[in-house]
Amino acid sequence: MTIVGEAPASARVTHGQVLRIALPMTLAYLSTPLLGFTDTTVIGRLGSAELLGGLAIGAILFDFIFTVFNFLRMGTTGLTAQAIGAGDRAGAAAILWRALSISLPVGLAIIALAGPIRETGLALMGGGAEVQAATRRYFDIRILAAPLTLANYAVLGWFLGHGRAGIGLLLQTVLNGTNIALSVSFVIGLGWSIEGVAWATLIAEAVALCAGLVLVAGIHGRQALAPPTLVFDGARFARLFAVNRDIMIRSTALLFVFAFFTAEGAHLGDLVLAANAVLVNFFFLASYFLDGLAVAAEQLVGTAIGARARARAGQAIRLTVGWGLAMGLVAAAVLFAAGPAIIDFVTTAQPVREAARVYLPWAAATPLVGALAFEFDGVYIGATWSREMRNWMLASVALAGIVWWIALPVLGNHGLWLALLVFLGARGITLALRCPRNLDREFGAASTLEAISR
């Protein structure tokens, strides 16, 4: 039986297939900043700067924790897509339960280490005594959701591996919609302060996981079941761990780059720090659009690899990368043209506005320069070439470090932005250049260029 959203391995990859995956996931990712805006607004209406600061620091800590463990989403997508492409239904089902079996102990370990994680984060982030107290109140409740959050990553990744981006959008809507509704109810309606936001997140994660498992059972029925001997197969577990390990290292390196960028901006003065904080959000906003196309690459390339369909893999790479570059160009043009207006909307401080305008061209260029990196991340995750992705991420970090070391003393903050663009560009270029060789290794050396160009 062919499940809706999947295409036969022999079929050509079309623009429609790319967009059917990319557009729903773009909408799903765009709901995340709406949630952050709601949480900030409901706490802001309480009139306490300390609570707002505590929420901001807590959100950063959880962003770091869960970005590191987002390998459960990405690794599950790539492996599931390959199993579907190979026609291995039982293997695809086993991947879900294998990922869920990892999410529980890892989530419990995060809870067990909550104290040291929280205090280390607070020591690094700073803040006054009342701000840190508010962060602790928020953190100690929300951390209880760790196993649920990781399990939701696994379920979302599994559906995306099947090409079910509409289900992905539904699950993210349930998660963020429930969270928003409960945050407003608990904080504004019941007066629960910052604890209300944390409880809203915990409950929303539980609701989303229940919804996800109901959809697994309702859509896939008995096909979602797998014998324990297959779920806990040693060789398959080892492959899952290897893929997830490499993705975790890659994600940690990515977090390091942006943390370093922020810290170096702070060393250049409060005005530069504020201007960079405004501008780097331009890149993060554009990334939501590029991430949807990266998910399309994960599923379409993974399915083609699993089906041993070289021409189809080449088509998937060509179309998703082409769409990514086009979206990167559009995003860069929009940010360059609308950047001054966006800056004025975000901040009313005239010195910050003026400083941000000076560095706007660098920020506007990030979506275009980074488009290759986003799309080839998706290609490599779908193909499970995670070791290569990890290695070229680390090499790009090193190259950007050299540029920063040389350019910062001469160019100041312009040199810092140059180093960031070198990092983004180096990642995309190295992954693109290595892709034909990786296809050769995957399929054999014949006709790689022909496969990509079809």
| pLDDT confidence bin for 68, thresholds 50/70/90 | confident
pLDDT tens digits along 45-58: 777 677 777 877 78
Q: Is the pLDDT of residue 257 over 60?
A: yes
Range 158-185 average pLDDT: 92
pLDDT confidence of residue 58: 82
| pLDDT confidence bin for 277, thresholds 50/70/90 | confident
Which helix (DSSP H) or strand (DSSP E) does residue 13 occupy? none
The pLDDT > 90 percentage for the chain reads 52
Task: Record the tokens describing residue 188, joined without a space.
Answer: 């504004």
pLDDT confidence of residue 37: 67
pLDDT confidence of residue 2: 41
Other beta carbons within 10 Å of 258: 14
| pLDDT confidence bin for 445, thresholds 50/70/90 | low
Distance CA 302, CA 381 (A): 8
Distance CA 158, CA 176 (A): 19
pLDDT confidence of residue 106: 93
Q: Which residue has the higher pLDDT, 18 or 446?
A: 18
| DSSP per-residue string spanning 275-325 | HHHHHHHHHHHHHHHHHHHHHHHHHHHHHHHHTT-HHHHHHHHHHHHHHHH
Range 113-117 average pLDDT: 92
Q: Is the pLDDT of residue 449 over 70?
A: no
Q: Is the pLDDT of residue 304 over 90?
A: yes
Domain boundaries, the chain: 11-232, 243-454
Q: Is the pLDDT of residue 116 over 60?
A: yes
Number of separate helices (H) and strands (E) present in the chain: 17, 0
Q: Is the pLDDT of residue 6 over 80?
A: no
pLDDT confidence of residue 1: 37
Distance CA 39, CA 36 (A): 5
What is the chain's Cα-based Rg?
22
Range 172-184 average pLDDT: 91
The pLDDT > 70 percentage for the chain reads 94
Name the least confident of 267-276, 392-401, 405-414, 422-431: 267-276
Q: Is the pLDDT of residue 452 over 80?
A: no
Distance CA 154, CA 166 (A): 16
- Is pTM beyond 0.85? Reply is yes
Phi-psi map region of 256: left, alpha, beta (phi>0 left; psi -120 to 50 alpha): alpha
Q: Which residue has the higher pLDDT, 208 or 54?
A: 208
Mean pLDDT score of the chain: 87
Residues with Cβ within 8 Å of 142's Cβ and at least 6 positions away in sequence, in order, are 58, 62, 198, 201, 202
Q: Which residue has the higher pLDDT, 422 or 54?
A: 422
pLDDT confidence of residue 40: 72
pLDDT tens digits along 235-256: 888 888 888 899 999 988 998 8
pLDDT confidence of residue 127: 67
310, 8, 312, 16: which is closest to 165 by C-alpha? Answer: 16
Distance CA 319, CA 322 (A): 5
Range 132-157 average pLDDT: 92
